Amino acid sequence: MQWLLVYILEAHAADEWPIGSSVVINQHKTIEERAAACASCCDTLSVNIPTVLDSIDNSFNNQYACWPLRFYLIDNGVIEHIPMPTNGAYNPLEIDQWLDKKLAQS
């Protein structure tokens, strides 16, 4: 079993649609900027699964229409779970619980 996180464009980039968050990231203009933002977020959230970047033309985001949802849990090409935000934020434990359940099934 393999898990993969796809890091896409910023939902509330400070230079496009700021929401007054304590996290301030401008929209990525280059793949290097996207990589730096991804690394920072993964470090902050202690993400320990393989992570890849969407292309700078946002082809993954355009294919899966991620906005306003930012998490799709896909297994063998099937979207199995879409965590829902509460009060404008996602509960990372919901994703962790889904992953634990999937791992227990394998």
Find the domain containing 80 and state its range: 5-105
Question: What is the distance in angstroms between the CA of the first residue and the CA of the last residue of the chain?
Answer: 8
- pLDDT above 70 (res 67): no
- Give pLDDT tens digits for 22-60: 667 888 899 999 999 999 888 888 888 899 999 999 998
- We report the CATH number of the domain holding residue 52 as 3.40.30.10
Q: Would the pTM of this model clear 0.75, i.e. be above it?
A: no
| Cα–Cα distance list, 94 to 16, 25, 53 (Å) | 29, 25, 22
Domain count, the chain: 1
Task: Tell me the two tokens of residue 7.
Answer: 């890091």
- Can you give the pLDDT at residue 57? 94
- pLDDT above 70 (res 1): no
Within 8 A by CB and 6+ apart from 73, the residues are: 79, 80, 81, 82, 83, 95, 98, 99
